[in-house]
């Protein structure tokens, strides 16, 4: 059963319109800040395995640095290919830490 685990301290959360990669239990995770809303996605792009944590936020979407697939940070969907979907994790900030359900 999935449980919430610590990703980073609240101070380490990226600034608005920024992303950052964190590795938790050997798994790369992408933390993004979209206009103050923090999101956590699997750090590996489902299209070709690119590092989403090295991507960017554009138009409220997370853009992969390899092929510019833009993922909705709430649903994981992309207009580039309806069959490709990023894994969006349930996340919350509590007691000064960002935690996500893994």
| Confidence (pLDDT) at 2 | 79
Residue 26, classed as helix, strand or coil, is coil
Edge to edge, what strands does the sheet with 56-58 contain?
A: 56-58, 61-63, 70-72
CB burial of residue 67 (10 Å; 0-12, 13-18, 19+): exposed
Residues 43 and 75: beta-carbon distance below 8 Å:
no
Q: With 80 as the cut, is the pLDDT of residue 102 above it?
A: yes
How high is the pLDDT of residue 1? 66
pLDDT (tens digit per residue) in 65-100: 999 999 999 999 999 999 999 999 999 999 999 999
Query: Which CATH number applies to 15-91: 3.20.20.80, 2.40.128.720, 2.102.10.10, 3.40.50.1000?
Result: 2.102.10.10
Token pair recorded at residue 72: 């909705």
Question: What are the sequence ranges of the domains in the chain?
Answer: 15-91
pLDDT tens profile 25-73: 999 999 999 999 999 999 999 999 999 999 999 999 999 999 999 999 9
């Amino acid at each position: 059963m999935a449980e919430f685990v610590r990703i980073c301290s609240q101070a380490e959360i990226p600034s608005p319109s920024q992303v950052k990669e964190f590795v938790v239990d050997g798994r790369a995770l992408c933390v993004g800040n979209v206009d103050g809303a923090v999101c956590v996605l699997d750090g590996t792009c489902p299209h070709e395995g690119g590092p989403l944590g090295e991507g960017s936020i554009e138009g409220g979407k997370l853009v992969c640095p390899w092929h510019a697939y833009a993922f909705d940070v709430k649903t994981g969907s992309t207009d580039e290919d309806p069959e490709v979907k990023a894994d969006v994790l349930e996340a919350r900030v509590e007691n000064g830490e960002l935690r996500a359900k893994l």
